[in-house]
Structure 1
Amino acid sequence: MKFGIGYNTGYHGVDPDRLMAFARHADECGFESLYVAEHIALYPGATVGSFPFPPTLPFADPLDSLAFVASATRRILLGTGVLLLPYHHPVVLAKRLATIDVLSKGRMRLLTVGLGSLPGEARALGVDFAGRGRRADEAIDVLRLLWGGGEDGVTFSGEFFAFEDLVQYPKPYGVTHLPIHIGGSSLPAARRAGRRGDGYFPGGALVPSERAAQMDLARTTAREAGRDPDALEYTRWASIELTPDRLDAYASQGVTRLVVNPTTSDPNTQREEMTAFAERFALDRPAASPAG
């Protein structure tokens, strides 16, 4: 099992010293990955289900945040949970992601994309809320086409994006494509993971039977699309107070990565929780640097 940790700037704030200290401690504890969330704009009355979103939550840009912490961490992988893909132009996004991957020497490897659930956010960005799924599918295709293209350029003609003989460098660090994981707890999200994803990261408050059905759907869809269903990674949110018994239950469901969140915004308590988790599950901590 792989273990990631989340830092939600909307709730934990955007103080640069706190964010950097959090990321460094997560790296030192041996967490595999650091995840940040995205909201581009909020508005009064925005809700997810029955949960209200205070419009002043300070969600920082996730890619800028990850680039910031990458400069002062050693090995932790960089992830989004989730990046709202329909609200990004894929030509610009491909460049940003490849740049972060190159500058971090191959650590921008846990991009998770979702559709967004706030209609007002889509309207503000000129995106048709009902068509955002098709837009996201096309964006994934564009990202991979640009990363894999050579000096002769690549051409694309779709419903939302079109270009001819486009050349984009730098390429991701040592690979032809960056992994793209699919977020979302709906049946369309599960199918998208099967058709286009390198992994599936469902959220939401679902019962175990619903989660099992969605992962089964993702694997079945992958098989029907001629892809290897066993190659799909399966990521889930979990409590930082996770017990070994509960870990075994996740593993029995085929989960390959768990992402935990601190229970508080207090930096000292966050450090204690991360340290305790690392000790409980014997995370692979990096060796100390030799004295200089």
Structure 2
Amino acid sequence: MSFAVAYSTPTFGVDPDRLAAFARHVEACGFEGLYVPEHVALYPGATFGGHPVPTTLPYGDPLDLLLFAAAATERLLLGTGVLLLPYHHPVVLAKRLATIDLLAKGRLRLLTVGLGSLPGEAAALGVDFASRGRRADEAIDVLRLLMSGGPDGVSFAGEFFSFDSLCSFPQPATPLPIHVGGSSPAAARRAGRRGDGWFPGGLLPPDERRRQLAIARSAATEAGRDPSALQYTRWGSATMDEETLDRLRDEGVTRVVIGGEEDELERFAERFIARRSGG
């Protein structure tokens, strides 16, 4: 099991000195990677889990934040938790992702995509909220196609995107993993059919989380993919104890993402990362 850290832009803001220092600290503590969230725009009346959302939360662009963090570090893997895929055109996104991965020397390994839960955000971007799942499915297919295409180009004809003999270079240093986030059976199926991993939300009841993990693995099998290769990422806490981590290991979790201030992260690393590595 590996451990990564979430950088909360709504809490910490978009401060270059804070972000660079935070990323370097996370790397020095021995964490595997750094995750950042995304929201393109908020509006009065928007809610997360039934709770009102302050409209002034400073969500920076996640890919720009990750590229900045990559420049301040050497080995830290880069992740999104989550990139709202329906709100990005996959042809443009393929270029951005490949560029970041190359500039980061192959460290964009934890890209996690989701659908978004705010209808007003989707409407502002011209995306039909009801069809955003189908749009995301197509976008994943387009990304994989473009980022593995040859000099003669690739073609695609779908409900939302279509092109003929299109070339997208540069390409990532190695094939880019795409993890799928979300707390619904549909997200679990998407992870199994198309994803390299599944990253469910933190509020699912244990029985429902187990059910959705079974859905993801079953969907992978039905798609002719190896269900055991599906990475399983979960949210955690800097105050987690050994018993909790043992339970997560038993559930098949491969990565835990935690948040917190620098001192909390350092204490967690001393308890679980340094000890494991013999440091």
The question of whether the paired residues in 1 share the 8 Å contact of 2:31 and 2:273 is answered with no
In angstroms, what is the RMSD of aligned CA positions? 1.3
Tell me, yes or no, if structure 1 residue 189 matches structure 2 residue 180.
no
Matching of residues 38-187 of structure 1 within 5 Å: 38-173=38-173, 175=174, 177-187=175-185
For structure 2, list consecutive stretches of 5 or more residues without a partner in the other structure. none
* Letter in structure 2 aligned against 1:201: F
SS in 2 for 1:255: coil
Tell me, yes or no, if structure 1 residue 276 matches structure 2 residue 267.
yes
**Residues 146-177 of structure 1: CA distance to partner in whole angstroms, max 9, x if unpaired?**
0110100001111101111111111101x2x2
Could you tell which deviates more after superposition, 42-51 or 119-128?
42-51
Deviation for aligned residue 1:207: 1.3
Q: Which residue, 204, 207, 211 being the options, matches 2:205? A: 207
Q: Whole-Å Cα distance in 2 between the matches of residues 252 and 207 of structure 1?
A: 17
Deviation for aligned residue 1:13: 1.1
Residue 233 of structure 1 corresponds to 231
Deviation for aligned residue 1:228: 0.4
SS in 1 for 2:78: strand
**Residues 206-254 of structure 1: CA distance to partner in whole angstroms, max 9, x if unpaired?**
1111111000110011101111000000000000111111100111111
For structure 1, list consecutive stretches of 5 or more residues without a partner in the other structure. 263-269, 287-292
Q: Whole-Å Cα distance in 2 between the matches of residues 76 and 217 of structure 1?
A: 31
Q: Whole-Å Cα distance in 2 between the matches of residues 110 and 66 of structure 1?
A: 11
SS in 2 for 1:281: helix
Q: Whole-Å Cα distance in 2 between the matches of residues 238 and 204 of structure 1?
A: 8
* Letter in structure 2 aligned against 1:81: G
Q: Whole-Å Cα distance in 2 between the matches of residues 238 and 65 of structure 1?
A: 22
Change (3 A) 1:197 1:87: same
Deviation for aligned residue 1:72: 1.2
The question of whether the paired residues in 1 share the 8 Å contact of 2:8 and 2:36 is answered with yes
Q: Whole-Å Cα distance in 1 between the matches of residues 141 and 221 of structure 2?
A: 19
Question: TM-score w.r.t. structure 2 length?
Answer: 0.97
Q: Whole-Å Cα distance in 2 between the matches of residues 154 and 248 of structure 1?
A: 45
* Letter in structure 2 aligned against 1:122: A
Q: Whole-Å Cα distance in 1 between the matches of residues 109 and 189 of structure 2?
A: 21
Deviation for aligned residue 1:74: 1.0
Question: TM-score w.r.t. structure 1 length?
Answer: 0.93
The question of whether the paired residues in 2 share the 8 Å contact of 1:38 and 1:61 is answered with yes
**Residues 262-290 of structure 1: CA distance to partner in whole angstroms, max 9, x if unpaired?**
0xxxxxxx22111111110134899xxxx
Residue 265 of structure 1 corresponds to none
SS in 1 for 2:236: strand
Corresponding residue pairs, total: 277
The question of whether the paired residues in 2 share the 8 Å contact of 1:30 and 1:285 is answered with no
Q: Whole-Å Cα distance in 2 between the matches of residues 66 and 283 of structure 1?
A: 25
Deviation for aligned residue 1:49: 2.6
Sequence identity percentage = 67
The question of whether the paired residues in 2 share the 8 Å contact of 1:30 and 1:284 is answered with no
Q: Which residue, 200, 224, 249 being the options, matches 2:247? A: 249
* Letter in structure 2 aligned against 1:24: R
Deviation for aligned residue 1:56: 0.5
Q: Whole-Å Cα distance in 1 between the matches of residues 120 and 202 of structure 2?
A: 20
The question of whether the paired residues in 2 share the 8 Å contact of 1:236 and 1:258 is answered with yes
SS in 2 for 1:145: helix
Residue 289 of structure 1 corresponds to none
Deviation for aligned residue 1:181: 0.4
